[in-house]
Amino acid sequence: MKIVADYDKCEGLGMCEAMAPEFFEVQDEGQVGVLDEHPDEEHRTGLKAAVDACPVLALSLKD
């Protein structure tokens, strides 16, 4: 699994960071930073919730 961030869409709202701070961090530039692009499968449920919480649809999970 891979976390993909679309930096053209990201507005740095921080919903992903609030839900999964071990994987996402809003950077000083105001966009999300992905802390672990290839997380273990055991984190899929929590990551899907964080990805789905993005109001601008800037995140996705790829297999």
Give the whole-number percent of the chain exceeding pLDDT 70. Answer: 100
Sign of the four-CA dihedral 1, 42, 35, 4: positive
Question: How many Å apart are CA 27 and CA 49, to the nearest integer?
Answer: 21
Q: What CATH number has the domain spanning 2-62? A: 3.30.70.20
Nearest to 27 by CA among 49, 7, 1, 55: 7
pLDDT band at 52 (very low <50, low <70, confident <90, very high): very high
Taking only the tens place, the pLDDT of each residue in 24-43 is 999 998 999 999 999 999 99
Question: How many Å apart are CA 28 and CA 33, to the nearest integer?
Answer: 10
Task: Note the pLDDT of residue 27.
Answer: 94
Task: Note the pLDDT of residue 48.
Answer: 98
Please give the model's pTM, rounded to 2 decimal places.
Answer: 0.91
Break the chain into its structural domains and give their ranges.
Answer: 2-62
Task: Note the pLDDT of residue 34.
Answer: 98
